[in-house]
Structure 1
């Protein structure tokens, strides 16, 4: 495991476009420089302890998936190669190696998280237990936590800059983005999920659910942000799949489960993550990278 965790970046030569929960984004005109740090967020809070190599896993795994899904929809990725950086940034090569993406700047970001669920887990299971529905979609009775759904469902949410994303019914989503855009996003999101789920299943992993972010460019919708990462998805090793109940996972759910287990009320002060939780999270992220890509996680990426 690398000891050179990156919690926050400072590049005075560039204008800081936005600092998100995990990513630092710099403005390059018609492009953005997105740097995936090792920050970890859960339950809407960013924790003090970085997860070594987490940002590099997110960045390199997203690049892998972006390359495999261009036939479904165009995406914002231009390059992850150090050779394509502006010369003024060569001094930051060690910082940026493996954790940056040069991307096309969207004209606007769709203000909706596009969530697709193939299995009943997380907040979706909690909502189902209470109402028999998820985002206004009625499901058959008798489903258990971890059960596979008859077909993937599109369950979008608001995209909150701060605080918790809120689930949207189809009618609420129509009002937010328009019915035609909603239908297009639904179709693309389910197609992406089905592709990713089948790809993962061939490698012995269940892609239980995931979320996408889309932007708009001159010629239509564009896939942005990250794709099928352990921050945005639930990955369950198929050999251990055993519903009903929570599943063994190779993603951020491990941290959520730890925080639930210690009884944190999800209010400040944010608890510290012990060293073993930090190390195990880093290991899980690199393991899912290895399983999906078929190659060991590169301890150093030459760019």
Structure 2
């Protein structure tokens, strides 16, 4: 059997390579630039625009995702000229599979602050419990690492992927599936919050009564943050479903070696999720809602009114709330 280590585009078919195709240097460069820009923007948001380090719990996981994606796509660019290099294949595959795991952790640590703005009474569980979803991601991440180690434990520069890949791929799939389940649970819980908040807003004009600030409508920037959270979450779920499908079939399957599927259902979806969350970084969009609520509390006096809150009790209400609703 001919060694793939000596293969070139003139002597071997690219279908014999671990990728099954020559990675597109153009597409991979675009994704690398996107994640590099997102990493820089996220760090600027936290260390330059923010006056505190409160949002590090969001920035650090998103930055880890960007760094892993940058390494993964950088290696793929190197593979475009030598798709038969099995070590480059294993490296890029490892980093790209693991990268999105960190993003969900950033969501789970940040979303309780958003729910406090909407009203904690709308959440079906205590807001302090949302970060516990990270434990599912940790278990999933460990399973992915174990599966990757098994899959690539018998790599050969001469023959490529070994038989262990058929054992390791399903283990990676289970790990990714756990992360998808945690995201689905999060999406369901947050959707319940949004539904109840929307019902309260349609009935009363406000989502909640803040004890210190009265009835305060949401800022448009906060609504944009919520929209980006939903879009990014659905992108990550879609990406996880794609990875579960190809990993269940095996890294040497036809779907795993389809570059168009990879670019559209992994590269594009993860990039969209990252960019959406970085554009709506809580340093600007979530903090904006909290601070405007606080400013409205100090800028206008409380006046007694007969309007009842959704809790069925009479509360003092503010009339001039323009700073918050702008």
TM range (shorter): under 0.3
TM-score, normalisation: structure 2: 0.24
Larger of the two Rg values belongs to structure: 2
TM-score, normalisation: structure 1: 0.26
More strand by share: 1
